[in-house]
Structure 1
Amino acid sequence: MKFMIVSDIHGSYADLKRVMEIYEEEKMDKLVLLGDLLYHGPRNPLPEGYQPQEVMKLLNAYKENIIAVRGNCDAEVDQMVLEFPMRGDYSELYLDGHRFFFTHGHLYDEEHLPMLKAGDVFMYGHIHKPVLKKENDITIFNPSSISLPKAGQKSFGIYENGELKIVSFDKKVLQSIKI
């Protein structure tokens, strides 16, 4: 299985549209959304191409392939317009002998990890910075933000065949690790 990991869209249709073009080009099986989908939040500036209704429509077109969690800027009203579950604080996927733990990062983060074991993969967003490392045989991953990165460039993640990558919009691999 090949899946894309996206975090912190914050209503940016222009950025989501580019990422979904790559999703199609790369023939992904699943789209993992790590929260903060439609709203920019009171601490953030409006991202370029801020169109939450268009983001909603584009995401809904992929509803059968989405695994999503709630971010700190996501609200109950967002679930009313999104046609896939997105209100859980975390989700899990078991694949290739690993447990992937997906969360936004405002409840669980590197300082407050959930109960994980060797071989698990902890994926979170929220900080808008890329992270890819192993600690105590646990892979820790943050793809950064596709709309409002706080370090580096806009990026997302790709997982395939035991390899996890942080990728830029021009499809350049910025970091990678075998899990």
Structure 2
Amino acid sequence: MLQTIREDRQTNLGWLEPGFHALAAYRLGRWALDARDEPTWKRRGAELAYAVGHRVSVNVYGIDLPRTASIGRRVVVQEAAIGVHPQSVIGDDCVLRKGCTIGGTTGGDTFGEQAPVVGDGVSIGVNAVVAGRITVGDHAAIGPNAAVLRDVPAAATVIAPKPRVIQGLSSNVARVGDEG
């Protein structure tokens, strides 16, 4: 676990980066879940550190990396406002950029079954959404603002649709300061 945390520090450019803080808390929490043979006091200490670190990551940075997710090594967590489904799988050497979400499509009874699987070396762009029970293949790239709801093959690139200009709607939009 400590070697993985050292890799996280190097990958995320140091001790002061929010992504490193979130990953370190995640690693401690994951270790506490998996370390059945370790003494209780060690597991409880790791659980407490995870609880505090995860709460700080969520409330201060907006980075939610639940310990029940499976997150690979050398993952880069850039900036803030990143959400990960509790049952998702994220491979090694991935990059998660600001505002990206790896989550389910709906809540309810089937939420736990809706976790995406993200392969190794995947780059997920700013504000991109990967949602549902889908697989993103190794070394794929998800562009900014893309919404991915279907499987993505290995080494593929997904981009958001081109913005369209729709004529005639601006007259129906209320403007700030208009009295009415």
**What TM-score do you get using the length of structure 1 for normalisation?**
0.29
Bigger Rg, which one: 2
Higher helix share: 2
Higher relative contact order (CA 8 A, sep 6+): 1
Higher strand share: 1
